[in-house]
A and B are shown apart, each in its own frame.
Chain A
Amino acid sequence: MRGGVLPPALLFAALGLALAFTPRRTWVPSILVLLATLAVFTFIIVPRSWLDGVFLACWISVIATAATVHRTRGLSPYAAVGLSLNTGVWASVVVSLSGARLDLLKALPWVLILLPASWLVGRYAPIPVKVLSSWIIVIAVLAATLQLLPVTPGYLPDHMD
């Protein structure tokens, strides 16, 4: 078991934290692009054999998106929209391969972390946001590594199954 709500939730949370460092005028286009991408890619059929590659791309996206909070100059509006597009693609593909469509709806509210994060950033207190993003990066690095394990992780059948 490695699908479900958590992978898209981490992607959405990372995007929310990244958008907190962008001007407010970029929020609406970014969220609209995210929703449109989710709507389109949810219905695209992806070959089952792509599962590992899709998960790896998902974790790399989480790491890259969360890492943008450490950019000293923040994100440009185009980069913010690009990140939303990327988030929408991988969240919907990951869920279509290893979850239910409802998982996307359950995970989507995590993007609202943008609101408290931007409140903190606006009050010159970005540190908790950066610390939180580093935790998200850590989870994604661990999850990406688990795919490369020489031993049997819990989500694969083993001698007991």
Chain B
Amino acid sequence: MAAAAVVESLLSNPAAAHLGTGLPGGFLSGFEHPLSGLDHLLAMVSVGLWGAFLGRPLIYVLPVVFPGLMVAGAIMGMFVVPLPPVQVGIALSVLVLGGCIALSAKAPIWAATLIVALFAVFHGYAHGKELPSAADPLNYSAGFVLATGLLHVSGISLGFLNDRPRGLLATRSLGGVIAAAGAWFLYQAVRA
């Protein structure tokens, strides 16, 4: 019964009050949002995967730092604080994080934290600009924070492949594919 109440409280979505004017946002649309954009999705998974490469403490520091700074970026987005081109920042995040995985870059704690924090601001900014128009911003925020966290966790889970034969090759190759996608996003962002 308790489990049923928990599930019901998560899935209960208020009626969309802003159809046609903005995001008809509730928990589910917030949850879907990070999954719907490939650039966001690849960056979030990369944070977890790179954390797995770097080991303790970064394996858990990065998934804590990213949402924390993402919220700072989201607040900047809500208040429309000027920022360098956000799409370029997001594309760069995919390129750099994918590159770090492909090269198995062992950055020091401060550097890895700084890189992830910087990119988190750009991702948060993009989310934050859309957040106020959501019909239910609170449930929307809860959905996208949870989805973001789960993407980090899936990246960390992919990192467990490193302990298997040829696993390291597979994850580094995946990093290469992510970096290539980042280069494509960057090309598109600069052209736009």
Contact = CB atoms under 8 A, between A and B. Distances in A.
A109 B67 contact: no
A32 interface: no
Interface string A115-153: 000000000000100111011011101110110011111
SS of A interface (majority)? helix
A6 interface: yes
Contacts of B1: 109
A154 interface: yes
Interface residues of B, number: 42
B17 A6 contact: no
Contacts of B146: 135
Size band of the interface chain A makes with B? 35 or more
Interface in B28-75: 59-60, 63-64, 67-68, 70-71, 74-75
Given A1-B136, A135-B67, 17 more contacts: A4-B12, A110-B9, A112-B2, A130-B60, A134-B64, A135-B146, A138-B68, A142-B75, A142-B138, A142-B141, A143-B138, A149-B79, A150-B79, A151-B132, A154-B17, A154-B23, A154-B25
27 contacts: A5-B9, A6-B9, A7-B138, A105-B5, A110-B9, A127-B60, A130-B60, A131-B60, A131-B64, A132-B149, A135-B146, A135-B149, A137-B68, A138-B68, A138-B71, A139-B142, A139-B145, A142-B131, A142-B137, A142-B141, A143-B138, A143-B141, A145-B78, A146-B138, A146-B141, A151-B132, A154-B135
Interface of B: 1-3, 5-6, 8-9, 12, 14, 17-18, 21-23, 25, 27, 59-60, 63-64, 67-68, 70-71, 74-75, 78-79, 131-139, 141-142, 145-146, 149
